[in-house]
């Protein structure tokens, strides 16, 4: 375990099993259809890479980057587009792949923006969900794990661009983010 973690919340083995299960469920739901998987950068990149390897449907991958956190542990509430999609979404089945849903503010803004572009459908897949922190009415269509209100890192999730490479999802020690 990394020295800055107080505990492992979800092990790499639990993650791998859940990602495979989500891949089977999504493949069944989209059988016979083409899917545009939208990776929400940077946090969802590892989850997206693992998830699409489990999909048995035709899938195209694009990425989008939005930010509301910066180097803070809490959202600023102001969403900024850092990178837009390269692909048109009009008339396509979209699967937005997110690492974590916390307040839901960023994802609500993002999904409203994508819906304004006239996709055929739009669903949300998240590895982690913190329903106790939700500030808007937003529910993922596919969810890996519901977690308590802890600051987590690893498997793509970061604090100040650190810890993404950790293979498990762990709870960051408060002193690790107070030093920044």
Q: What is the pLDDT of residues 9-28, one digit of tens each?
A: 999 999 999 999 999 999 99
The pLDDT tens digits of the residues spanning 121-179 come to 999 999 999 999 999 999 999 999 999 999 999 999 999 899 999 999 999 999 988 75
Find the DSSP H helices in 30-104.
Answer: 45-52
Cα–chain center distance at 23: 14
Structural domain contains residue 136:
yes
- Which of 101, 105, 103 lies closest to 145 in space, CA to CA? 101
173 part of a folded domain: no
Q: Based on the residue annotation, tell me whether 29 is a catalytic residue of this protein.
A: no
**Nearest C-alpha neighbor of 77 from the set 113, 101, 104, 97:** 104
Residue 84 lies inside a defined structural domain of this protein: yes
Strand-strand pairing, 121-129 and 93-101: parallel
Catalytic option among 99, 102, 129, 158 = 102
**Residue 82 class from Cβ within 10 Å (0-12 exposed, 13-18 middle, 19+ buried)?**
exposed
Number of separate domains in the chain: 1
Residue 78, classified by CB atoms within 10 Å of its CB into exposed (0-12), middle (13-18) or buried (19+), is exposed
Q: Is residue 175 part of a domain?
A: no
Does residue 160 lie in a domain region? no
CATH number at residue 36: 3.40.50.2020
Domain assignment of residue 17, given as a range: 12-148
What gap in Å lies between CA 176 and CA 28, rounded to an integer?
Answer: 41
């Amino acid at each position: 375990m990394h020295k800055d973690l107080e505990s492992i919340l979800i092990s790499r083995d639990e993650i791998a099993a859940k990602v495979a299960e989500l891949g089977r469920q999504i493949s069944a739901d989209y059988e016979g259809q083409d899917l545009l998987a939208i990776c929400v950068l940077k946090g969802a990149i590892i989850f997206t890479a693992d998830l699409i390897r489990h999909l048995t449907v035709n899938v195209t991958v694009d990425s989008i980057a939005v930010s509301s956190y910066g180097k803070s542990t809490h959202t600023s509430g102001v969403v900024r587009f850092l990178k837009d999609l390269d692909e048109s979404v009009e008339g396509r089945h979209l699967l937005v792949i997110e690492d974590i849903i916390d307040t839901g503010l960023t994802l609500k803004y993002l999904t409203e923006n994508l819906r304004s572009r006239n996709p055929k459908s739009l669903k949300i897949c998240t590895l982690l969900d913190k329903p106790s922190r939700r500030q808007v009415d937003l529910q993922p269509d596919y969810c890996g794990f519901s977690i308590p209100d802890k600051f987590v890192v690893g498997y793509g999730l970061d604090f100040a661009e650190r810890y993404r490479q950790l293979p498990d999802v762990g709870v960051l020690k408060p002193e690790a983010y107070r030093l920044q």
